[in-house]
Amino acid sequence: MLNAATLDAIEQALEGLLNDGSEEAAQLADVLVKQLEAALFEQQQIDSESAQPKMKALLESHPWMMPEQIGQILDRIIRENASAKSKRKKVIAIANRVTAALEPYTACKPGCSACCHMNTMIYEHEAIRLAEMTGRKMVRLPYRPLDQIALNGDKFNGEPCPFLVENKCSVYDDRPLVCRTHHSLRDGASQCRLTSADNYIRPPMYDPDVLEVPYMELNASYNPAEPWGNIAEFFPTSDCGENIRLAK
C-alpha cells in the first residue's frame, strides 16, 4: 500500500533518475512513473465501495490476516533455525491459507487468466521447481541489477505465461509465490481483462506485499545474488508446445 514513506522514496528515486540525464535513466523513470500511476489507481480501487466491504468482511472473519498479525507469523518463520527450503514451504502454506480465506470474496474463477498476462517475476529456485515438475528445459539466467530486471520484465506485460494452457495454469499446485498472492476483489472477472500491454491496472486486492516482501527477505538472507526474472525468460515460449505436452 502507498504511504508517505513509500511516496517519498519514489520521489527521491525519480529525482535521481531525472538528474542522471542518460537515456537508460529516462527509460527507468518512465517505468517508475507508470508503476506509480498504477499504484495510485489501485489505492483508489481499494477504497472503492466495491472492495472496501469485502476487505472488512475478510479481516473480521480472519483476523490473523491483519498485516501486523500475519507479519508476526511470517517473521517467526524467517527467524527459525531451519533450511531455506523448509521456511519457503511454510510461507507457501501461509499463502495457501490466504488464498482459501479470499476465495468467497474474489472474482477469480477457473478459466480467468488476466493475471497470467502480467509481468510475472520469479526466483531461480522457483524456476528449478517448475522444470523438475514438468520436465521442461529451463534457461539459466545471470544475476542482474534490479533496474535491468525491471526493464526486461516490463517487455512481457500482456504476454501469456508460458505455462498457461487453454486459459488454465498447467502448474497450479507448483506455481511460484507471486502467482499465489494475486487475485481480484472486483465484482466480476471481466473487469480484469487485459486488452493491451499498456492498459493493465492491478485490481484491488489483499496487499500482496504482506507475503512477497518477507519472502524476498528470506531469499536474500540465503542467497542475495540469486537470479530473478520474468517467468518467460526462464522458459522461452519457442519450445512451449512440446514441453507443455510433456507436462500434461
pLDDT of residue 240: 46
Q: Which residue type occupies 221?
A: S
Coil, helix or strand for 217?
helix
DSSP-derived 3-state class of residue 211: helix
For position 244, what pLDDT does the model report? 37
Looking from the CA of 13 toward its CB, the CA atoms found within 13 Å total 16
Would you say 184 and 204 are in contact if contact means Cβ atoms under 8 Å apart? yes
Is 156 strand, coil or helix?
Answer: coil
CA distance 173 to 180: 10
179 closest CA partner among 75, 87, 70, 99: 99
Residue with cell 500434461: 248
pLDDT of residue 175: 96
Neighbouring residues of 90: CB distance < 8 A, sequence distance ≥ 6: 77
Cell 539466467 belongs to residue: 141
Length of the chain: 248
Could you give the residue ranges of the DSSP H alpha helices within the chain?
4-20, 23-46, 51-61, 67-79, 84-102, 124-134, 146-154, 177-180, 209-222, 231-234, 240-247
pLDDT of the chain, 248 residues: tens digit per residue: 555 556 667 777 777 777 887 888 788 877 777 777 776 666 655 556 678 899 999 999 999 999 999 999 999 999 999 999 999 999 999 999 999 999 999 988 888 888 898 889 999 999 999 999 999 999 999 999 888 888 888 888 888 999 999 989 999 999 999 999 988 888 777 666 654 444 456 678 899 999 999 999 999 999 999 999 999 999 997 654 443 333 33
For residue 228, report the phi and psi dihedrals to the nearest 5 degrees: -145, 140
Q: Is 152 helix (H, G, I), strand (E, B) or coil?
A: helix
pLDDT for position 241: 43
